[in-house]
Structure 1
Amino acid sequence: MQAVCHVSTYIARSPEAVYVFASDPRNLPQWAAGLARSDVCPSGEDWMVDAPFGRVTIRFARTNEFGVMDHDVTLDSGVTFHNPMRVVPNGEGSEFIFTLFRRDDMTEDQFDADRQAVEADLASLKALLEAKPESDA
């Protein structure tokens, strides 16, 4: 069993608006610095991007009505990491949840740094979406 940490943030936007923006891989460079340092390019059903840890392939869950944005990140080495991600209604807005698993080869400090990177990405997403009018989010 792996250690797990659920990182979440409230976003004062509808779940639909959050989902539409956050589920589009082309928007990752605007808010997910922990994953996307360059434009995200389509490659069949996958997406290619330069991440802080090298070139990766990303495969997102198919578009759905449940707010599920799970995605697999595959490194050049062929190792794949599954990343559960959701947006759910919370009052007048949304709760955005990322589930972070501690890999077997991670130290506690590395896991903490990974959590902090996810928290920073979610803070960026929140600030970006809340700065836009709801109709533009």
Structure 2
Amino acid sequence: MSTESRHLSVHVDRPVDEVYAFASEPANLPRWAPGLGSSVERTADGWFVDTPGGRARVTFAPTNEYGVLDHEVLTPTGETVYVPLRAVADGDGCEVIFTVRRLPGMTDAEFERDIAAVSADLANLKRVVESAAGSGPFTEPS
């Protein structure tokens, strides 16, 4: 069974290693991905995000040199959603590519709403990383 996907991307005028360092830090999620959740907390059981539907666990791929930012979200309903996300070098900047997948039972309107939320999050990522250039580490909340 195949899944419908939409690949969204944004060019960020910062080196791929800076974008990767920022986006791979779960503590930064509320700064660039408010579509996922408004706050994040690390516990002994992992990273948790407060989403509109309740508390969800987010697990990122291990740190790597390839820009892979894939992560799994364990939703409040117990579903695990796999999220493909990459930061790819593009000259002096990078392209961030996010694959939005239609979940089973998702209506066209719900799928389009997810696409719009991810598009806004990617634009936010671009704005945050580009505006923070040269201002020090990205781990401090703004």
Are the equivalent residues in 2 in contact too, given 1:83–1:99 (CA < 8 A)? yes
Deviation at 1:45, TM superposition (A): 6.0
- Contact 2:10–2:95 (CA<8 Å) still a contact in 1? yes
Which TM-score applies when normalising by structure 2? 0.90
Amino-acid identity (%) = 44
Amino acid at match of 1:31: W
Quick check: 1:42 aligned with 2:42?
Answer: yes
In structure 2, what is the Cα distance between the partners aligned to 1:70 and 1:44?
21
TM-score relative to the length of structure 1: 0.94
Distance 1:45 1:96 in 2: 28
Q: Secondary structure at the match of 2:27?
A: helix
Q: For residues 121 and 101 of structure 1, what CA distance do their matches in structure 2 show?
A: 16
- How far 1:12 moved relative to its partner? 0.1
Matched, 1:5 2:41: no
User: Where do 5+ consecutive residues of structure 1 fail to align?
Assistant: none
Q: Is the 8 A contact 1:57 1:75 kept in 2?
A: yes
Q: After TM superposition, where is structure 1 displaced by more than 4 Å over at least 4 residues in a row? A: none
RMSD of aligned alpha carbons: 1.3
- For the residue of structure 2 that corresponds to 1:118, the secondary structure is helix
Match of 1:18 in 2: 19
Unmatched runs of 5 consecutive residues or more in structure 2: none
Task: Assess if the C-alpha contact under 8 Å between 1:49 and 1:55 holds in 2.
Answer: yes
Q: The residue matched to 1:65 in structure 2 has which SS?
A: coil
Structure 1 range deviating more: 19-28 or 103-112: 103-112
* Alpha-carbon distance change, 41 to 63 in structure 1, aligned in 2, over 3 angstroms: same
Structure 2 partner of 1:87 = 87
Corresponding residue of 1:56:
56
Please give the alpha-carbon distance, in whole angstroms, between the structure 1 residues aligned to 2:134 and 2:8: 24
> In 2, Cα distance between the equivalents of 1:44 and 1:9?
34
Query: How far 1:134 sits from its partner (Å)?
Result: 4.2
Matched AA of 2:25: D
Matches of 1:44 and 1:67 in 2, distance apart? 26
Structure 1 counterpart SS, 2:57? strand
> How many aligned residue pairs are there?
136
Contact persistence 1:31–1:124 (CA under 8 A): yes
